[in-house]
């Protein structure tokens, strides 16, 4: 234990810190400060966005790249204006989500949720479409010969 503390002392010793390290070595503990600046950066932000044109996705992409923002995106204004531009914007957001290992999903007709890597969007699994596909497929056991 003594050698470990000595190594730590040498690593972190500076001009004015040696007294603090000596005291910590004697008492067997080190008191860490709790800065509020660090706490403010670790909070998760749920932020609404509105896409009115392709250029309005830049703040969304920047927030997703930071990794602490869950974006709730209203796509209705661009959907009413230009569907091609909307597809382009959604594809760009999707590529950014893939790059940061996040997730993206639509809910309702006019909203999209995009989350960074720490979150996952729940998707309800329904078996009805799979059952309908199975019922629609029929097997042909014999082919007519001519």
Q: What is the pLDDT along the chain (146 residues), one digit of tens a residue?
A: 556 667 666 666 554 555 555 666 666 665 666 655 545 567 889 999 999 999 999 999 999 999 999 999 999 999 999 999 999 999 999 999 999 999 999 988 999 999 999 999 998 877 665 555 555 555 554 555 54
Q: What pLDDT is stored for residue 106 in this prediction? A: 92
Q: What pLDDT is stored for residue 30 in this prediction? A: 59
Q: For residues 11 and 47, what is the distance between their CA atoms, to the nearest angstrom?
A: 42
Q: What pLDDT is stored for residue 124 in this prediction? A: 83
Contact 117, 67 (CB under 8 A): yes
Question: In Å, how far from its chain's centre is CA 108?
Answer: 20
> For tokens 């800065």, what's the residue?
35
What lies within 8 Å, CB to CB, of 96 at 6+ separation is: 61, 64, 65, 102, 114
- Calculate ∠ Cα 31-36-42, nearest 5°: 105
The segment(s) of the chain belonging to CATH 3.30.110.150 are 39-115
CATH code for the structural domain at 39-115:
3.30.110.150
Contact 116, 64 (CB under 8 A): yes
Give the pTM.
Answer: 0.58
> Sign of dihedral through CA atoms 36, 38, 44, 47?
positive
């Amino acid at each position: 234990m003594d050698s470990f503390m000595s190594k730590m002392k040498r690593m972190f010793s500076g001009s004015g810190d040696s007294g603090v390290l000596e005291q910590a070595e004697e008492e067997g503990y080190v008191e860490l400060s709790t800065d509020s600046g660090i706490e403010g950066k670790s909070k998760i932000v749920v932020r609404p966005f509105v896409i009115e044109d392709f250029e309005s996705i830049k703040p969304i992409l920047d927030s997703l790249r930071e990794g602490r923002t869950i974006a709730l995106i209203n796509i209705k204004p661009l959907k009413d204006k230009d569907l091609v531009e909307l597809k382009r914007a959604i594809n760009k957001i999707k590529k950014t989500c893939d790059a940061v290992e996040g997730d993206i999903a639509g809910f309702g007709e006019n909203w999209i949720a995009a989350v960074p890597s720490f979150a996952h969007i729940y998707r309800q699994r329904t078996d009805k479409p799979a059952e309908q596909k199975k019922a629609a497929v029929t097997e042909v056991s014999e082919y007519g010969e001519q």
